[in-house]
Each structure stands twice: as structure tokens, then as C-alpha cells.
Amino acid sequence: MFAMFALGWIGGGDAKLAAAIALWLGWGVLLDYSLSAAIYGGALTIAILLGRRQALRCGCRATPGSPACTISKTGVPYGVALAAAGMMFYPHTEILARRGRPVALRRSLQNLLTSWIRLINRN
């Protein structure tokens, strides 16, 4: 992530967030987390691009008070995808397994992600 930041592909906050989540999750799910974050990031990017296109069709113009996601020169808030992937794998971490509550949290996170996916599919 820091190499991507050095190349200017992602922001510094996203690199730090990904590093913190990777440390929290551990090596066991790091590859799965990375792939999920990439998939969520791709879906988020497509949703934002479609939203920007729809805003342009409606005649919306980028003004100083308009949301950043409608301005074409701004990037994609990739931290949302990183956080969603992190929440998906959080129930599988060793830290949570020691507490003995992974099942209830896993269900609530799956319900949350399912509702996000439904919301994205509606748009």
C-alpha cells in the first residue's frame, strides 16, 4: 500500500488504514482481505462513475458546495472499500475468536454488507 501511495495511486490515509487493518486481521486472512478490498473498491469505483455520469445527465455542475463524489477531478474514497473488507473478515480474527462471540458479529456484519450491496444494485 505504501508503494501505491508513493506512486500516487492511493492517498496516504488509505495506505495507513490498510496497514492498520492488515495488522489487526493477521497473516491468515491477508490475501483474502486484499482481494475483497480490491473487489469492493472496483464496485465502489463503478458506482461512483455511474453516479457522476447520472449527475452530468441531470445537468448538475460541480460547485464548491456539491458532494465530492460528483466532481470528476476527485478520486474514489477507497477507505470505504478497505473498511468494508475489514469488517467482512473481522469475525475470522484470532482476537475475536478468543472472546467467543464471532457468530453474532459475523451475522450482523453480513447483514450490513448485504444491505450495502442491495443499495448499490438499486443505483
pLDDT for residue 40: 92
For residue 52 the three cell numbers come to 457522476
Residues in the chain: 123
For residue 66 the three cell numbers come to 456539491
Lowest mean pLDDT among 3-12, 44-53, 59-68: 59-68
pLDDT for residue 96: 65
Most distant CA pair in the chain, distance: 54
**Cα angle, residue 100 at apex, residues 16 and 80 outer, rounded to 5°:** 25
pLDDT for residue 58: 64
pLDDT cut 70: percent of the chain above it: 71
Q: Where are the domains of the chain?
A: 2-122
| Residue of higher predicted confidence among 97 and 85 | 85
pLDDT for residue 97: 64
pLDDT for residue 91: 75
Q: pTM for the full model?
A: 0.64
Cα–Cα distance for residue pair 23/118, rounded to 1 Å? 30
pLDDT for residue 67: 54
Is the pLDDT assigned to residue 66 strictly greater than 70?
no
Confidence of residue 100 (pLDDT cuts 50, 70, 90): low
Enter the DSSP assignment of 27: G
Cα R_g (the chain), whole angstroms: 17
